[in-house]
Homo-oligomer: A and B are copies of this chain.
Amino acid sequence: MSETAKPAPGHPRVGITEIEGFVTRALASAGIPPEDAIQVAALMAEADARGGDAHGVFRLPQYVKQIQSGGINARPNIRILSDRAGSALVDGDNALGHLVMKRAAELAIEKARQCGIGWVGTRRSNHAGPAQLYARMPAAQDMIGLYFCVGNANLLPPWGGTEVLLSTNPIAIAVPGWQHPSIVLDMATTNTAFGKIRLKAQRNEPMPEGWMIDRQGQPLTDPKRASEGFLVPIGGPKGYGLALMVGLLAGTLNGAAFGRDVVDYTVDSKTASNTGQAIVAVDIATFADLQAFKQKVDEVWEVMKSSPTLPGVDEVRLPGERSARLYQERMTHGVPLGAELRKVLDELADRLGIQRLR
């Protein structure tokens, strides 16, 4: 993969360490204890490194606003409410979601090491960045990771309905490979994300059919009319079903928000979101010799790659392949940050009285 490590042309790049330092300064200046700020900054920078551009430093201004408005608790007491050999419930005390989820994932891994599997749910958590970050934590410990969470804004109705009662509730699953990267799925349960719709609007381009429907159930292709319609779940009723089950597993089961309780923190920065998440760690050792399993995962990678392709498709891709390539490139060359985001972050720095990103 060395030839892919050359940076793609585009926006000026900022080093990962620089992003981490900047996020740490900003969060600390907003009142987050330094050791917590460092942990969150590392995960936010990792989000950017892995290509989750809408879930990394991009979210910093919003988090700072929530902390300053009292919507996020800067001095939380994250604690385990219920603890059994293989499962636990964590109360996030309205902390930054990254802190809650890191704790939850560590607990799930510990349980999996002891008894083969760990399932940990969270309540009173917050937005924690891209789903793959947490599914990757067990994978980094030679386990399989699964992560579900209730998204922070309701954007789609139940199938056939017109009231937005569901979020894009994402699912991430990570399986470690041997020579090849881990196979990592990180997907929302809708055909597209809202960010792509905003981009189409900026560019004055129509949306393809299948992204949105209007209140009559007809395809909506004008991105400027996005507020008149709804996102379309993958496979129609199937994606609705998946979003609903994820809401039950990550929200309702944990005593966290789901349905009409969901708080959109990008609109309301004062109210605690009571975000719910679930992380599962599966110890591979129960099922197989670790190295033999990872080599089999490599074989799956190679078998998929070996498929002939449709006209116009250069090669089959694996889930997590793009992210692995970006990670390698961005850890070396930094993360490209657009001028608009850069400006927002500079303004944030000035407002907080901290040093800007270099």
Contacts and interface: CB of A to CB of B under 8 A. Distances in A.
A47 interface: no
Given A249-B144, A307-B161, A310-B216, A287 B84 contact: no
Interface of A: 82, 84-89, 111-112, 114-119, 121, 144, 157-163, 165, 171, 173, 175, 183, 185, 187, 190-191, 213, 215-217, 234-239, 241-242, 244-245, 247-249, 252-255, 258-260, 282-284, 286-288, 293, 296-297, 299-300, 303-304, 306-313, 315-319
A191 B237 CA distance: 10
A307 B161 CA distance: 6
Given A187-B235, A247-B300, 15 more contacts: A84-B286, A85-B115, A86-B86, A159-B317, A161-B309, A161-B316, A163-B308, A165-B304, A185-B241, A190-B235, A216-B310, A217-B312, A253-B284, A259-B299, A259-B300
Give me the 4 closest cross-chain CB pairs, A-B, nearest first: A234-B235, A87-B116, A161-B307, A85-B115
Contacts of A159: 316-317
Contacts of A306: 163
28 contacts: A82-B286, A85-B85, A86-B86, A86-B112, A87-B116, A87-B282, A88-B286, A89-B286, A117-B118, A121-B287, A144-B248, A144-B253, A157-B307, A160-B313, A162-B309, A165-B303, A173-B249, A175-B253, A183-B248, A187-B235, A187-B238, A217-B313, A244-B300, A249-B282, A252-B297, A255-B287, A259-B303, A259-B304
